[in-house]
Homo-oligomer: A and B are copies of this chain.
Amino acid sequence: MSSKSTEDEIIGLEREALRRWCSGDPSGFLEICAPEVVYFDPSLERRLDGLEALTNYYEPIRGKIMAKRFDLLNPLVQVVGAAAVLTFNFVSYDASETEYRWNCTEVYRQTAGGWRIIQTHWSPTKPTFA
């Protein structure tokens, strides 16, 4: 169901988008999202639907999110035809070495222009509930 080159390509796309994200640039993700992308993160009341909604959500934080370094832990790509499901744990460190840990699921779809994200889900790893 999978091939090494597809796995490498998907992980490479994600890693490059994350590199830009950690430099304050959300366009790395926006450029590889399909128009129908849907999106979850813990600060949202409901799922965001569509690239326009995600763009409107990301633009105000352009230049504001920085990480000194990050890592994708244990990335896995499950390929089902023209769909690829990437899951990984993400860890990043800010300038004061504070660690942030996340769970992430990305679903990519193969298009004429390359692989595009149709679903993103970010959530905190073991958050402390108040």
Contacts and interface: CB of A to CB of B under 8 A. Distances in A.
Nearest to A119: B85
> Chain A binding site: helix, strand, loop or mixed by DSSP?
strand
30 contacts: A36-B78, A38-B76, A38-B78, A40-B87, A40-B105, A40-B123, A45-B125, A46-B74, A47-B74, A47-B87, A47-B89, A47-B103, A78-B107, A80-B80, A80-B81, A80-B118, A83-B83, A83-B85, A85-B118, A85-B119, A87-B119, A103-B123, A105-B119, A107-B107, A121-B121, A123-B123, A123-B124, A127-B127, A127-B129, A127-B130
Interface of A: 36, 38, 40, 42-47, 49, 73-74, 76, 78, 80-83, 85, 87-89, 103, 105, 107, 109, 118-119, 121, 123-130
